[in-house]
Structure formats: C-alpha cells, structure tokens
Structure 1
Amino acid sequence: MHGTDPRVVLGLHRSRHERRLLKEALELGVTALDTSTNYLGFRSHETLAKVAGDLLWRFTISTKVGFFPGREHSLDPARLRQSVERTAKDLGREPDVVLLHNPEHTLRNTPDAHAVLAQACCVLVDAAAQGLCQGWGISVWDARALAGIGDVPRPDVLMVRAGLFVGVDVLEASEGLMTRWRPVSTWGMSPFGGGRDADVWEKFDPQVFLRDGQGSQHQSAFRTAFHLPAVDALVVGTDRPDHLRELTEALEFTVDGRAVEKYVELLKALRHPV
C-alpha cells in the first residue's frame, strides 16, 4: 500500500461508483473523493453509501451543492441549506468539504451578483460552524464570470479548471480569484479537458514540460496541470485503476517551470499579437 498523497483527488463525475476502484484508490494512497449532489443522476451520495459505506470513513469527501433536478441551478440560501443537510443523510456521514457548484450559472443573470454569492457562501460557512461539514468552498468552471465580483468569506477550497486545455483568459481569471479570495487550498479539475483519449495528444507532446523526458504523454499532461494555474491538488475522474496508478506515479516527476512560463507567454502573445 502506498503512503497517502493529498495531491490527487478521485473525482466521481461520470463515474460508475464501483467499489473496486475505491479499494484500488486506497491502495495507491488516494484517500480523497470528490462528488456532487447531481452526479450519477442525483444518486451519487446514496450509491456511495450503498456500495462503499464501510470504506467511506477512510476517505475525505468533498461534494457540491447548487444544481437541482430538472437541470435547475440555484443559490437560494434555503435550498442550499436543505441540500447540505440532505447530503449528510444520504452519505451516512458528514462530508469534509461542501462546495458551491458552478455559481456562475446563476450569477451571470443576477443584477446584484456579489450579494447573492456572499449570501450563498454564508450558508456554507454556517453549515461548517454547525458541524454539517468540516470546511467549505467554491467550484468554478468559468472563472471569467466571477472576475468582477468582490470579496467573499475566505473559502477553505477553491476549485478551478487546470491544465493545458485551459485558455489564457480562464487561466488569468482563476489566478485573479485565487489572489482576491485567498483560499486555504486550491484544487484543479479536468486536467485532460474531459477526456484523456482526445485526438490532441496525437498532435501535441506535453512531455516537453517535464525534465529529462520523464513520463508518458498522459503523465506529462497531468503533472503539468499542477502549474496551470498553480494548485495544491488535482481532481481527476476515471473508472480505471490502471489510469489512476499511472497518474499517481507521475507525482514523482519534475516539471520544467521555465517551459511552463514560456508556454503561458506564448498564449498571451497569440491573444494579443504584435
């Protein structure tokens, strides 16, 4: 069994929630799970409790609130509170972290976006204070939508998109949120842009970002994602134990920081050509 490594979080988006994968994750030292109220057709929490209830106490669990049946998104404080309470009931234990899930869905069409977001954050702050979770945070897919919003209570976790598929505008907006909100920890998500088998890997070799030619293409892309933007952990979704093993092995590789800097400089130059 490997030692615990908090830099990898097993994401359950599009996952089948199979017990064998959770057992393999523990063997690899991956002891953090990330899910959401709306994953697996709003059955993620109940399914986890059913198939892996005796294992769940060995994981730290983060989940998200904000989406409701009928593809509805809401930051209404009462509904968020009910969702947090339901989470603990369905999981059979309190989650470690509860995140606001893609608040930009609602805030894009809200006149007083800052006040609405602040109220939603306070719901989770109160939930943590009352023992319904240990910490709280915000998960943002498109950080550009929150660029004009002011300060919020300091989140324990800020989750943003990370990796080579992230455009420079989103990258800079995410870094802006990190600077302004000062989260205790920052997590990246979707390091393969939603699919590790994308055709792009046949045209582009991310191994240039690792020193001494270390790692496969997927390992190189994964390891580089920790620097685009700089995050403490990466949430990666897979149903394959061999894929998860490959990624945990990549943690030992060294990223060429200067190569990453030159890549970002190039992205910025292409956005505003001379």
Structure 2
Amino acid sequence: MCRDDRGVVLGLYRSHPDRDLLEHALSLGVCGIDTAYNYGGFTSHQQLAHVASDLLGQLTLSTKVGFFPGRDQAGKAVHSLEPNQLREAVERSADQLGRPPDVVFLHNPERSLSELSERAGGDCMVAACAVLADAVATGSCGQWGISSWDPRPVVMAVDAATGDIKPDVLLLRAGLTVPAPILVASEELSRRVRIPPGHRWGMSPFGGSARDAVWSTANLDSFLAQGQQPTAKQAAFRLAYELPPVARVAVGTSKADHLAELVTATTLAVRETSIERYRQLIS
C-alpha cells in the first residue's frame, strides 16, 4: 500500500532509473518517483519509460521544467521561464514518459528571477505559472507546483505579481542542513501561495549526500522520543519532515537497504519541543 502519511519519494537527481530498485520501492510502499526534464542529461524520462513502462501506472510521477539544453556562462544548463519553452517541455515530458505526469514543478524559478526586477519577476512568474495551470486544465499533468532551492526571490516575485499564482504543491529544501533564512522563506512562500503542510514536499534531507561523515557520527537523540534506537541517518531523515513541516520527502538512493532504512525512519516519534528550540537557536 502506498504511504500517505510521511511519504517517501524516490528522487532521480543523481541516479539512473533501476528496475530492481523501483520494484523494491513498490514493495516497501514507496510509489513516488521524482525526476526532471533535465535529469540524466535530458534523458531521464526516456530511461524511466524504457526500464519500467509497465510500472509507471503504479507510480506517482513528478517532474520539473525550467532547465534546457545549452550552457550558460557558469557552464550550467540554461534556465528559462519563457512560456513557450515551458509549454513544450511539459508536452514533451508526457510524450517521453508515455503518460501525463502526476505533478509538474516549475524548476528553481529563482535562477531566472534573480536577474530581474521585482515587477518584471512578478510578471514572469505569473506567465510561467499560467502555463503549468493550463497544462493541468488540458490534461498534460495532474497537478502543478513550484520547486525551489532558495525561495527568497520567489517570495519577492509573488509579492510583486499582479495575477494569480496558486500552485497545488511546493517542493522545498528540508532537514537539519537548511539555513534559517531559507527555512523562513520556505514557510513564507507557503503562506503567500496558501499551501498547507500537507501539500508541501521536502528534498535534499542530507544536504547533498547521506555518505557524509556527519550522518554516521551525529548524536540526534535529543530530537527523538525516548525508547528508540535509530541510526543518525534515520533520525536526520525523520527530522526532515519537520524542518519545515512537509508531507513527503524526496531522497535519492541507488541502494535497496538504504531505502528500506529510510522508510522505517518515517515511523519515529520526535520531540516537538526540541525541534522548536532548535529553530529558535538557528534563528
């Protein structure tokens, strides 16, 4: 059965789709898969459809649009909020996957917004979000949302917008590695676009890699109710659902045992007073 409470989403940011891992994920109740138009060198959708076309009906698929082929001055993929490019990417995503995605996120809009004035950014966001809202209306995807690594420029654009910006879902950084200003901005964006915690997803719970030494040595017992004996990785993953409060957390892994370890972690009980104290300290 798919998990509705503190769900786990298997992210494909750094890994290629693996049939065995997908089958294992389903056996654990993990039915969410998160990818993006640009992942895997712009081939993640095709790879996913190739290795698991018969499983896609059992999976909740989320993807993102906003990065396009080419290189900017920093050597990174070109980012654009141009409506026609976004529309084409949404339509191509559905074609490549063989079915409409359940959710399409506007991918890191702050990359383009940071180069615009507040008013221009507001207009740009309204136009970009209208493309995704129209994609839902026409059946090209089930829902739409905003995925942001740094929501501060997005909050400014939403404040300056003269039209509606009403996403169904937000995807935000979550966990102990999120700096206080980003945490505050994430919750501010949620308020601005009226997204409750149940429609917020978290990402990057380990701040880049669960293999970092800190996740093997940190003592996080003070955040958890007594009588539990999780690993530091499990504790950190469970806390990602609280900082900020989210309903699902997307995490990348290529190891079946690691995924099982994280699924088990979702049942851990936390100390809310310790989490609130932590938030006060980092602020």
TM > 0.5 fold call: yes
Partner deviation per Cα, 1:239-261 (whole Å, 9 max, x = no partner): 11111100111111101111001
Task: Determine helix, strand or coil for the equivalent of 1:236.
Answer: strand
CA shift, 1:213, in A, is: 5.0
Q: Per-residue displacement from partner, 1:225-250 (whole Å, max 9, x unpaired)?
A: 10100111111111111111001111
Name the counterpart of 1:210: 224
Q: Secondary structure at the match of 1:69?
A: strand
Q: Residue 60 of structure 1 corresponds to which residue in structure 2?
A: 60
Q: In the alignment, is the contact (CA less than 8 A) between 2:203 and 2:250 conserved in 1?
A: yes
CA contact (8 A) 2:32 2:59 kept: yes
What are the residue-to-residue correspondences of 1:59-138 with 2, within 5 Å?
Answer: 59-70=59-70, 71-111=77-117, 112-138=120-146
1:25-67 deviations in whole A, cap 9, x for unaligned?
A: 0000001110000111100000001000001110010000000
Could you say which residue in structure 2 is the equivalent of 1:198? 212
The number of residues matched between the two structures is: 266
1:253 to 2:281 alignment: no
Q: CA deviation at 1:198?
A: 1.1
User: TM-score scaled by structure 1?
Assistant: 0.94
Distance (Å, rounded) in 1 between the aligned partners of 2:69 and 2:219: 40
Displacement after TM superposition at 1:148 (Å)? 1.7
Instruction: Give the match's secondary structure for 1:175.
Output: helix
State the SS of the aligned residue for 1:99: strand
Please tell me whether the aligned partners of residues 46 and 97 of structure 2 are also in contact (alpha carbons under 8 angstroms).
Answer: yes
Aligned partner of residue 212 in structure 1, secondary structure: coil
Aligned partner of 1:27 in structure 2 is 27
Q: Which runs of 5+ in 2 are unaligned?
A: 71-76
Normalised TM-score (structure 2): 0.91
Q: Is the 8 A contact 2:225 2:271 kept in 1?
A: yes
The secondary structure found in structure 2 opposite 1:57 is helix
**What RMSD, in angstroms, separates the aligned Cα atoms of the two structures?**
1.2
Q: Tell me which residue corresponds to 2:255.
A: 240
Matches of 1:130 and 1:17 in 2, distance apart? Answer: 28
Percent identity among equivalent residues?
49
Aligned partner letter, 2:171: M
Residue in 1 that maps onto 2:184: 172
Aligned 8 A contact 1:65 1:98 in 2: yes
Partner of 2:154: 146
